[in-house]
């Protein structure tokens, strides 16, 4: 099998004493939409900039289409980027901005104009071709930046938090534009973001980074349902993480004495667990059932309601057990219509053992 | 609150007074340049263009104007080039000794002009380069470069730091990026620096007086006339000099102001 | 293996870095160093002879007129600094706190203009205005006052220095006052701090660095200027700059002029250093 399009091999990037990226091994396949995600300062942008040649790795090797790229100048790479600030040239109009990359490749004026117009049409901004950048709205600028980066028909497109400056409703629309473009063009997108919703909505695979290291790589579902460690489980958000000692262990299940009481979980594959081991369990907020009376399930915990939070049709309930442990539950609006949601109401959280994920580490 | 208002009015009047003081000499030169009396005072004499005719017919003034213009134009070109190089270096690079480098770039205006004049005269004589038109140019470039550097550096500070990298990313090499991105972006500041340095050179009299020899500039002529009697010709030359340098400085400032608003994209 | 890229000369970077270094080295650093060297040369038979002798320093420092000029120049520059800073402050205060952003921008716009327009001609204009039968005395005569001697006095010199430095000092003060956090001033008012007390206990300390930098520039410019003390002050007594000109222009006593020049630079360095350390010193 041929090598993946991009290979990072034991790549290190140091700025003075500080290591922004440590021993990074990462493969990016042809035609995939890869999102790199993590808190700020995790090294995600440095990784992207190294791929574009804007930073040189201190150690290790980066290969693009089989070629060692460490010492290749940024201008000789063909790894166009959509910048967080968009970095459109303010002294050029829209079509001249889009033509820029073609001009650098030595195309003559009519050819590059035709090509640029084609892309402006494709991104539905052809009518603004002669406008100044300053006259465009945020969403229109976004499209110009995309057209400018894609006009040279690269194998790979780098995106550095391109949607972070947009209003929420425009973000959703641009996400649609980006995924559609990526499918149609069939090229690789490497998308750096700190936003979970953007990464999970668009990416084929997601890389979670922290402190210069990769924590987990996988399809969004795997990252969400099967985080490999506590950092990922916490970073991915709305998870309940329970910790405790194993008290019982038989036929594919373990019982853990956690902060919310005994919790029955599946015994992880390829792992021997003995009574007395400490385990971390993840119970996603959206797998729990909330009811006014106790129901028949593997795990049932009595709580009192503290507060609720609405985002669209999704509601998150924040609850507290009698022992003082906090739990979250995420439900559809219609699921709680029959519940009393005043603060302090007695409720029961229940979940089956199959929805519990045991953290491997 | 009447005391509040009284203070506000007092402060306004005070600002007006300061501006009067600052512009009084300029305005009075202008008025007296059209006044017929040999010794200008009030009440004013009759309107006349006599002083302008006198300087118009004075070949020395024309020679001085030629020297002034040649030096102002060449100084502005060289000083703006060096100022641009320095501003870009400061914007783009970090290196050992950068603070000393910047100090060297910005220090010349803090040295008293008489001392600069003496040092220049002594050194240029020593290496056989004093008393020429190019002696003035050499010295003025030293004085003007910091202004050019400051103006262009301010403009570069308004540039999105990703802009240059974006050009590399789209396939432009460093030299090409300089031509296609940095130069167009800084163009208004470059023109502004050209105007400002030309104005400084056009007005500078002390250093020019020391090193110029027989190549007198307009300010040097004024200085020499001044050492004699009060001469209303100076009002006429002075008005011409004021108008020239004011025009240059206004252009310089307007260029910086208008582009500031346009260059920075809004939300 | 290619050579270590960090050792290769980066021609692109060098192109931008070198022009200023070369020019300012050849025509700024070297002339000033040469001036120091020149102060140790000898003059024999009206010709300068390279050498290394402290005679110029000894002779110059032994002359009464040198010290007269030194103290006079220093005193006048100090006076100008105090007068200019005090006169500029209410104007800067008004521009910063009483005018709109737009008005402030325009005010600075107009204050920059005179800074770049012929100082020499402006001083000539003052000479005309201040003369015994000039505009000001003529105006005073209308109300029955005067005539006063304004020209060739210390007042004349200070007016000249103000012409040179006032616009710059107002600009520098305005910039530093305008950057003060308004909330602090509001807070002072809310705490019952009177207007004038707020100015001296809140605003001046907060803008200290800017005010001192303005004063330093004023001192440097006044200390080195020869036009105002010569044409408006009548050169009585001469300042150090006038001394340099007289010594240089009348013959070959350049080494002695160099002594004066080097002394001036040393003085300015000391003053600037003292002022800047005062500006950045933490208050006890």
Contact (CB, 8 A) for A83 and A191:
no
Name the residue of chain C whose CA is nearest to B32's CA.
C125
Interface of C with B in 208-247 (CB under 8 A): 220, 223-226, 231, 241, 244-245
For chain A, give percent helix, strand, coil, nearest 5: 30, 35, 35
Q: Cα–Cα distances in Å, from B146 out to B35, B191, B200, C219, C269?
A: 39, 15, 11, 20, 19
Whether residue B227 lies inside any domain: the answer is yes
Q: What are phi and psi of B5, to 5 degrees?
A: -70, -35
pTM recorded for the entire structure: 0.90
Name the residue of chain A whose CA is nearest to B266's CA.
A134
Give residue B225's pLDDT.
86
Give residue B259's pLDDT.
52
Q: What are phi and psi of A331, to 5 degrees?
A: -140, 165
Distance CA C111, CA B250 (A): 11
Chain B residues in contact with C123 by the CB 8 A cut-off are 25
Best C16, C163, C252 residue to mutate vs chain B (most B CBs within 10 Å)? C16
Distance CA A129, CA A131 (A): 6
Chain C residues in contact with B199 by the CB 8 A cut-off are 116-117
DSSP calls for A163-184: TTTS-HHHHHHHHHHHHHHHHH
Chain A residues in contact with B261 by the CB 8 A cut-off are none
Give residue C282's pLDDT.
66
Half-sphere exposure of C177 (CA within 13 A, CB side): 26
Q: What is the mean pLDDT of chain C?
A: 89
Distance from CA of C184 to the nearest CA of B (A): 19
Distance CA C22, CA C18 (A): 6
Whether residue B15 lies inside any domain: the answer is no
Cα dihedral angle (C15, C17, C20, C24), rounded to 10 degrees?
-130
Which segments of B127-232 does DSSP mark as H helices, in order?
A: 133-157, 162-169, 174-177, 183-203, 206-211, 218-226
DSSP calls for C170-183: HHHHHHHHHTS-HH
Distance from CA of A53 to the nearest CA of B (A): 8
Contact (CB, 8 A) for C175 and C211:
no
Per-residue pLDDT of chain A (361 residues; tens, 9 = 90+): 578 999 999 999 999 889 999 999 999 999 999 999 999 889 999 999 999 999 999 999 999 999 999 989 999 999 999 999 999 999 999 999 999 999 999 999 999 999 999 999 999 999 999 999 999 999 999 999 999 999 999 999 999 999 988 888 889 899 999 999 999 999 999 999 988 889 999 999 999 999 999 999 999 988 888 888 889 988 887 788 888 888 888 777 888 888 888 888 888 777 778 888 888 889 988 888 888 888 888 888 889 888 888 887 888 889 988 888 889 888 888 887 778 778 888 888 889 888 888 888 6
Distance from CA of A135 to the nearest CA of B (A): 9
For C195-238, write each residue's pLDDT tens digit. Answer: 788 888 888 888 999 999 999 999 999 999 999 999 999 888 89
How many structural domains comprise chain B? 1
Give residue A294's pLDDT.
84
User: Whose structure tokens read 């609006």?
Assistant: A333
Contact (CB, 8 A) for A348 and A290:
yes
What's the residue count for chain C?
284
Give residue B262's pLDDT.
47
Contact (CB, 8 A) for C8 and C2:
no
Give residue C27's pLDDT.
96
CB contact under 8 A, B171 and A141: no
Whether residue B37 lies inside any domain: the answer is no
User: With the C-alpha atoms ordered C215, C221, C225, C231, is the resulting torsion angle positive or negative?
Assistant: negative
CB contact under 8 A, B14 and C90: yes
The answer on pLDDT for C3 being more than 60 is no
Distance CA C108, CA C173 (A): 11
Helix H or strand E encompassing C79: helix C64-93
Whether residue B11 lies inside any domain: the answer is no
Residue stretches of chain B with pLDDT short of 70: 1, 258-267
Distance CA C236, CA C158 (A): 14
For C6-41, write each residue's pLDDT tens digit. Answer: 556 789 999 999 999 999 999 999 999 999 999 999
Chain B residues in contact with C24 by the CB 8 A cut-off are 104-105, 108, 142, 145
Whether residue B47 lies inside any domain: the answer is no
Interface check for B188 against chain A (CB to CB < 8 A): the answer is no
Give residue C2's pLDDT.
42
Distance CA A97, CA A131 (A): 11
CB contact under 8 A, A87 and B263: no
Whether residue B49 lies inside any domain: the answer is no
Domains in chain C with CATH codes? 65-280 (1.10.3720.10)
Give residue B1's pLDDT.
55
Chain A residues in contact with B180 by the CB 8 A cut-off are 100, 103-104
Angle between helices C64-93 and C240-249 (to 10 degrees): 130
Whether residue B45 lies inside any domain: the answer is no
Give residue C109's pLDDT.
94
The answer on pLDDT for C162 being more than 80 is yes
Distance from CA of B15 to the nearest CA of C (A): 5
Whether residue B29 lies inside any domain: the answer is no
What does the H/E/C string look like for B114-145?
A: HHHHHHHHHHHHHCCCCCCHHHHHHHHHHHHH
Which domain range does residue B83 map to? Answer: 58-260
CATH number assigned to the domain comprising residue B100: 1.10.3720.10
Nearest to A90 among B162, B176, B263 (CB): B263
CB contact under 8 A, B162 and A133: no
């Amino acid at each position: 099998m041929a090598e993946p399009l991009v290979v990072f091999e034991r790549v290190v990037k140091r700025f003075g004493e500080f290591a922004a990226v440590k021993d990074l091994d990462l493969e990016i396949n042809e035609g995939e939409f890869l999102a790199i995600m993590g808190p700020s300062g995790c090294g995600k942008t440095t990784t992207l900039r190294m791929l574009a040649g804007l930073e040189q790795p201190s150690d290790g090797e980066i290969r693009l289409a089989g070629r060692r790229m460490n010492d290749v100048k940024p201008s000789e790479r063909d790894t166009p980027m959509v910048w967080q600030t968009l970095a459109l040239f303010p002294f050029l109009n829209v079509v001249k901005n889009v033509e820029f990359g073609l001009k650098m490749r030595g195309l003559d004026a009519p050819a590059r104009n035709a090509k640029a117009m084609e892309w402006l049409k494709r991104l539905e901004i052809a009518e603004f071709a002669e406008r100044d950048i300053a006259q465009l709205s945020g969403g229109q600028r976004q499209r110009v930046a995309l057209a400018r980066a894609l006009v040279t028909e690269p194998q790979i497109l780098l995106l550095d938090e391109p949607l972070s400056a947009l209003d929420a409703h425009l973000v959703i629309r641009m996400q649609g534009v980006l995924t559609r473009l990526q499918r149609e063009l069939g090229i690789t997108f490497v998308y750096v973001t700190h936003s979970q919703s953007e990464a999970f909505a668009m990416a084929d695979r997601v890389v979670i980074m922290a402190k210069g290291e990769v924590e987990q790589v996988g399809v969004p579902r795997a990252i969400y349902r099967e985080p490999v460690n506590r950092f990922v489980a916490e970073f991915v958000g709305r998870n309940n993480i329970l910790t405790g000692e194993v008290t019982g262990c038989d036929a594919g299940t373990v019982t853990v004495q956690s902060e919310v009481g005994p919790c029955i979980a599946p015994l992880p594959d390829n792992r021997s667990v003995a009574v007395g081991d400490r385990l971390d369990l993840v119970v996603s907020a959206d797998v729990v059932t909330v009811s006014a009376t106790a129901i028949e399930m593997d795990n049932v915990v009595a709580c009192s309601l503290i507060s609720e939070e609405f985002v669209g049709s999704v509601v998150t309930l924040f609850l507290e057990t009698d022992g003082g442990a906090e739990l979250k539950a995420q439900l559809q609006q219609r699921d709680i219509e029959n519940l009393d949601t005043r603060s302090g109401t007695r409720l029961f959280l229940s979940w089956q053992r199959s929805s519990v994920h045991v953290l491997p580490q | 609150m009447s005391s509040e208002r009284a203070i506000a009015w007092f402060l306004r009047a005070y600002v007006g007074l300061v501006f009067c003081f600052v512009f009084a000499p300029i305005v009075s030169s202008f008025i007296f340049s059209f006044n017929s009396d040999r010794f200008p005072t009030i009440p004013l004499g009759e309107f006349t263009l006599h002083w302008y005719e006198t300087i118009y017919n004075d070949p020395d003034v024309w020679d001085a104007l030629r020297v002034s213009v040649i030096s102002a134009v060449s100084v502005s070109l060289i000083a703006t080039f060096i100022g641009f190089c320095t501003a870009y270096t400061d914007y783009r690079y970090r290196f050992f000794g950068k603070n000393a480098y910047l100090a060297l770039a910005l220090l010349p205006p803090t040295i008293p002009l008489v001392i600069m004049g003496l040092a220049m005269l002594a050194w240029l004589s020593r290496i056989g380069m004093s008393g020429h038109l190019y002696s003035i140019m050499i010295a003025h470039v030293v004085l003007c470069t910091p202004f050019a550097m400051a103006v262009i550096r301010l403009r570069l500070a308004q540039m999105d730091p990703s802009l240059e990298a974006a050009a590399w990313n789209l396939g432009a090499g460093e030299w090409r990026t300089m031509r296609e991105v940095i130069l167009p972006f800084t163009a208004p500041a470059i023109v502004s620096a050209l105007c400002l340095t030309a104005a400084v050179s056009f007005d500078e009299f002390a250093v020019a007086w020391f090193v110029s020899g027989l190549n007198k500039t307009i300010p040097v002529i004024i200085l020499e006339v001044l050492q004699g009697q009060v001469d209303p010709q100076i009002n006429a030359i002075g008005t011409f000099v004021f108008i020239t340098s004011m025009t240059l400085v206004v252009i310089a400032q307007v260029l910086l102001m208008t582009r500031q608003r346009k260059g920075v994209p809004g939300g | 293996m290619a050579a270590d890229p960090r050792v290769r000369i980066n021609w692109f970077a060098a192109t931008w870095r070198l022009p200023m270094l070369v020019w300012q080295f050849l025509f700024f650093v070297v002339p000033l160093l040469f001036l120091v060297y020149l102060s140790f040369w000898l003059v024999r038979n009206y010709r300068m002879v390279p050498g290394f002798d402290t005679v110029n320093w000894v002779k110059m420092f032994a002359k009464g007129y040198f010290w007269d000029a030194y103290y006079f120049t220093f005193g006048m520059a100090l006076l100008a600094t105090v007068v200019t800073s005090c006169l500029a402050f209410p104007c800067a205060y008004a521009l910063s706190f009483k005018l709109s952003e737009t008005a402030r921008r325009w005010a600075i716009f107009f204050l920059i203009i005179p800074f770049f327009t012929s100082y020499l001609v402006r001083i000539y204009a003052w000479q005309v205005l201040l003369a015994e039968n000039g505009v000001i005395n003529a105006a005073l005569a209308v109300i029955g006052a005067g005539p006063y001697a304004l020209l060739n006095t210390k007042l004349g010199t200070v007016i000249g220095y103000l012409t040179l430095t006032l616009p710059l000092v107002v600009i520098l003060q305005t910039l530093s006052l305008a950057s003060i956090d308004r909330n602090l001033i509001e807070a002072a008012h809310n705490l019952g701090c009177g207007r004038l007390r707020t100015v001296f206990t809140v605003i001046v300390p907060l803008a200290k660095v800017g005010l001192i930098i303005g004063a330093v520039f004023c001192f440097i410019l006044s200390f080195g200027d020869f036009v105002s003390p010569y044409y408006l002050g009548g050169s009585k007594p001469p300042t150090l700059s006038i001394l340099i000109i007289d010594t240089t222009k009348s013959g070959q006593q350049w080494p002695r002029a160099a002594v004066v020049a080097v002394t001036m630079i040393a003085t300015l360095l000391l003053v600037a250093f003292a002022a800047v350390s005062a500006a950045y010193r933490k208050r006890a």
